[in-house]
Amino acid sequence: MQQRALGRSGLMVAPWAFGGNVFGWTADAKTSFDLLDAFVGAGFNLVDTADVYSRWASGHSGGESETLIGQWLKRDAGNRRRIVLATKVGKEMGPGQKGLAPAYIRRAVEASLRRLGTDHIDLYQSHDDDADTPMEDTLAAYGELIAQGKVRAIGASNFSAERLALALETSRRHGLPRYECLQPLYNLYDRAPYEAELQPLCRREGLGVINFFALAKGFLTGKYRSEADLGKSPRGGGVKAYLDERGLRILAALDEVSAQWQATPAQVALAWQMARPGITAPIASATSLAQFDELAGAARLQLDAAALARLDAASAWAGA
């Protein structure tokens, strides 16, 4: 399986990343371990999580996903070298525990390393922008972690193009580590937020892109076709906004291309993203081995120009 460079970080990743938000939430320990075993067994390597996963769930306080990944790493000493381990810092973990201030980053990375049971994080990402902390302070703190060997590279998530450009300029001006990748919202439906301003910036600067919600919270699997379908999973409530004329047009195009290529809508939706210029590895999650097998098949699906054009036209957004 051909791997792709993650910016200038030296990290090489397979063309699909596993979203670890499900670990300890909708996937229990055994299921999580089975999924991770299958993921690396199939030749994939980028596992993306965050310290805050899954704080939103009842009875959870955050760190559940990192803890399960750490337990999986401990089961087999070879697992750590098989994966590119990515996590994030910045979203609220409790009172006074959020943001990108240097002191907080230093505390948060130690907590993540402890939960993960590892001595280094391959990709440490700012989960949200922090307008209250000077960028040079944040980047200098990351520089310390890189110098200490605790972090290999850094990335940004949920940044606007303006703020990401400022961060990159700050790195150049002060000789500090730069964000080597961006984790934006991007999929066949949610195209405009990334394509309008972030895509040109990332391509110009040579940043990797590992986009989240690659399947639009499950909408692009074709599982949700009416409001009556929204109760099919815990995420169903977040899908309602996609059930408009454009969303149904996208599903129709996915159905058409899927039939032509003997694939599923989810596989086609991911394959379209893998073919997009500048996209390094879409992030998607599975909660069963059957789902994993389906998503893994997307990496073997190389759509032709006609199929890509059909999907482009169906998902076209105003102003493109």
Q: Is the pLDDT of residue 234 over 80?
A: no
Which is it for the CA torsion 305, 12, 22, 38, positive or negative?
positive
User: CATH homologous superfamily of domain 4-314?
Assistant: NADP-dependent oxidoreductase domain (3.20.20.100)
The tokens of 78 are what? 């070879």
pLDDT in tens, 243-286: 999 999 999 999 999 999 999 999 999 999 999 999 999 999 99
Query: 236: pLDDT confidence band, cut at 50, 70 and 90?
Result: low
Which of 191, 158, 165, 136 has its CA nearest to residue 88? 158
* Catalytic residue, candidates 53, 104, 186, 189: 53
Confidence of residue 319 (pLDDT cuts 50, 70, 90): confident
CB burial string 189-205: b at 16+ within 10 A, e below: bbbeebbeebbebbeeb
For the question of residue 53 being annotated catalytic, the response is yes
pTM for this one?
0.96
Angle at 20 between CA 270 and CA 209, to 5 degrees: 50
Contacts of 213 by beta carbon, 8 Å cutoff, 6+ apart:
185, 186, 187, 190, 283
Q: List pLDDT tens digits, range 49-65.
A: 999 999 999 999 999 99
